[in-house]
Amino acid sequence: MDSRKARWIALGISSAVALVLLAAGLYWRAHRSGGTVRINVGKQPPFDDGPRTPKTTRSEDPERPEDWRFYLTEKEVDGYFSTKQNTRVLYDPWMGMREIPNEAAEMSWKEHPDGKFVFRTNSLGCREDHELDPTPRDVRVLVAGDSHTCGICNNAESFANRLETLLGVERPTKTIEVLNTGLGGYNFYNYLGALYRFRDFKPQVFVVGIFGGNDFIDFFPVYLHFTRKPWPSVTPAQDKRRREALKISPDAMGQGLASLDCLRSWEAERTAIANASLQMCLEIRRAAEHAHCPVVFVYIPSPFELPWPQPVPKYVKTRDTLEFTDADFATLSGVADRVLDGLRAKGVQPIDMRPVFAKEPTPPYWRADFHLNLRGHELVAEALKPVVDELLTRE
């Protein structure tokens, strides 16, 4: 694998994998030469209580990020997201980190119909081929998510941009912008930050892509940071097993197996992990309502929540190294069910892609790295379209 391809694949896996195992008591450093990932044993990053507004006076709906109750300093963000090890991201006081602007890199990708795709960002660091219009478009939808939302594909093929096309079919006289702010390694904290960073965009609908493969576990250490609660521990045997699994497939680990291993190990924390994610989703809804912008949550399952008629060998070997049983695989969907059912109980109707994906002959993910493939993006866009349509009609 050439270094450029390895660097771009790392977009979708390195931040997510790093934070998953950081939560388990490991501090990972992703190196992009040769596609290798080196692990360093470490500990919980220190809290940075540098100059900022006192916690007691921080706001739910601040004008400045420093006054926000979820504000993280640059040092804290580096501790949780390893930003200084990733030349492709910048510190962002609202979102923690953001993609560098004006990227344009061609990636060889055998499974893509063209054998390649272009990873491109605009001057805002968004996965868009164009800049935002000086005059806001008639229809404005903001999309937040992780690498599955960002897309391992051309910008026009992501579900955000496919949704933009679908919305335009019945609105030929309207200008439409569905802004894709997704980035690999993001979780609920970053999704909420996107709403604040792009509030001048004045979105009419906010779409949040929840990825079951790592969002719940990735957010948990950030939640523990803000609540000042102790971290779960990991045994030497668990540490050794995870390291061995990582050597086989960092892709499989980053897209669900590392999270699953954490959930298996932290049986006592499963409810807390689900509750923390649910509360952040409800905070996202509250902030969106404050901005007069309804929110739509769409659940994108880990590829390992679905049956694979022809399993990928590196996944099978990684799974076997971790010694997973069928019962273990149910834990990931169990946490997802707690979060989605909790949203429904609060009057929020999330879109669950599991039954949609399950109807497909094969799971709609690239076999190379387990991210959504073009069919997966199309299915998510099609599921979002009627829901977003209805919300726009209420405008």
For position 68, what pLDDT does the model report?
A: 94
Q: Where do the domains of the chain lie?
A: 101-393
Closest Cα to residue 37, out of 58, 57, 16, 53?
A: 16
Residues in Cβ contact with 46 at an 8 Å cutoff, skipping those fewer than 6 apart: 79
Mean pLDDT by 10 residues, the chain (395 residues): 38 40 33 28 48 60 92 92 90 96 96 98 97 95 98 98 97 97 97 97 98 96 91 87 95 96 93 97 97 97 95 96 92 96 98 98 97 98 98 87
Report pLDDT for 29.
Answer: 28
Question: Which tokens go with 343?
Answer: 């949203």
Q: Look up the pTM and report it.
A: 0.89
**Region at 35 (left for phi over 0; alpha for psi -120 to 50; beta for the rest):** left
Cβ neighbours of residue 82 closer than 8 Å, sequence gap 6 or more: 14, 15, 18, 27, 28, 29, 30
Q: Report the DSSP pairing between strands 139-144 and 176-180.
A: parallel
What is 101-393's CATH topology? Rossmann fold (3.40.50)
Task: Quote the CA–CA distance of 111 and 387 in Å, as a whole number.
Answer: 31
* pLDDT value of position 255: 96
Q: How far is the C-alpha of 46 from the C-alpha of 59, rounded, in Å?
A: 23
Distance separating alpha carbons of residues 72 and 78, to the nearest angstrom: 10
Cα(252)–Cα(303) distance, rounded to whole angstroms? 9
